[in-house]
Structure formats: C-alpha cells, structure tokens
Amino acid sequence: MSRPDRPPDMRNIKLTIAYDGTDFHGWQRQPGLRTVQSVLDEAIGRLTGAAPNTNASGRTDAGVHAIGQVVHFLTASRHPPEVFVRALNATLPRDVRVRAAAEVPQAFHATLDARSKRYRYRIDNDQYASPFELRHAWHVFHKLDVDAMNRAGAALLGRHDFRSFETDWPNRLSSVRTIFDVEATRHGDIVHIEAEADGFLYNMVRAIAGTLMLVGAGKRPEAWVGEVLRAQDREEAGPNAPARGLFLLRVNYDRAPLVRAPSP
C-alpha cells in the first residue's frame, strides 16, 4: 500500500476506537451491509460536512471486537480533537465509541506506520457457558492447563513462516511474520490468550488460539505446536476459534518490541 499525496491545507486526525463486532460485518465498508467503517464514516460526515476516507490499522472480520483500533482521516474541519470525541460519540451507535482523538502529522498512516498489534482471545472455561460471555468468549468446558499452553506457545516466538496458521494460504505475498509475545493467563473462569506481532495473517490469531486450546485441554502434547509450525500446512493446526472471542487490544506505533524470552 503506497502513501497517497495529501493536500497541504488538510489536517490528519487519528482516532482510537472501540467496538463490539457482534452485529457488524467486519470493519471494511461493504454495499448494503452494516460495517464499523460505514457507521464511523457516516458520523464523521455529519460532523464535518464531507465524506471521509478513513484508514484503519487493519481490517477486523465479522464478529471480531476492538478495544484499541486506530483510524486516521484527512479533513478540512477546524474542530479540535476533543470535539471529535464528544460529537462523534453523540451520534455513533452504542456498539462503537471513540476513545481518543489527536491531530497528527500528515505523514502518519494508521496502516503503514503500525509496528506491532496485540490481540486478546477470550475463552469461557467454566463447565457451563456464562450467559454474559456468549457474545465475547468461546466456551470450552475442558479445564485448560495454562502453563502447558504457555510452554507450547513459546515455539511460536520469533520470525517464522506462519502458513500453518493462515486460512486459505496464500493471502499475502509472504507468510513470514515476527511474533514478539504469546501468553495465556487465567482470570477465574476466563482464559486469555494474547499475541503480539509485527503483523497477522488471515485468521492467524484464531488458529493459534484453537491450537493452544487443544494443548491446554490435554488433547495434544506441548511439542506438537512446534511441529505444526514447521509443517507449513494449515491442516496440521487446530481449528479456528470462533470470531466472538477475539479482540484487537492495541496498536503500537513506537519502535518494534523485543521478542519475549520463553519461560524456563
């Protein structure tokens, strides 16, 4: 993706937004479908009087949520950032919120300047599915061994070809990515799987979550995850975890983080 030419009199506005993806057909605008981009663009257009060309840090699929999605757009509007926050939240639907706004240099691009993204996958690990988690977590009743999941996930750290975790390979010119961190943690009956990387392939986080779930449930040995990675074959990995448990947690625009050292 190349950086477009930008008129010198236009301001570049960066938004950090959160949304519940349950009732959306993903981020990207699609004719006749409700998407996050379409409702955000409508709200910005009402405020500024001009249809924006919004760019997000990346597209989220149908049913996927975000806590820290980053968007930028050019505008001739003179509204200060705090007005964008208040005015957009006054007209956006309840399942989308602007958490922050800032004016940034024209050179900033929400997609191209991202150094890493961090996702969280949520698993409801109670014996019976919580009615309060049906929209936001995958119910797995087998008790998950989080320590085993962490030991197995260490095989994914670093720079590798992740085609075993990519749906419908190839989707990109390269399936090589760098994972800086993979971590599973338990919070009562909820298990979080978080992954941070310089980029993610189609359904990559959901495939990692489904693979680590099998290890945590005792259905696969810990060493199996490394074997899946080396196989470079999607059929060897676990299932794609359902979209409803996936959250885009944050996008990092500073220097790339260091790869976390595996626990001993």
Q: What residues are labeled active site?
A: 61
Which backbone phi and psi does 13 adopt, to 5 degrees?
Answer: -110, 130
Contact 208, 118 (CB under 8 A): no
- State the angle between helix axes of 204-216 and 224-231 in degrees (0 to 180), rounded to the nearest 10: 150
- The span from the CA of 28 to the CA of 51, in Å, is 15
Query: H-helix or E-strand containing 208?
Result: helix 204-216
Structure tokens at 143: 């008790």
Please name every residue paired with 190 in a beta bridge, in sequence order, or none if there are none: 124, 187
Q: Is the peptide bond before 170 cis (omega within 30 degrees of 0)?
A: yes
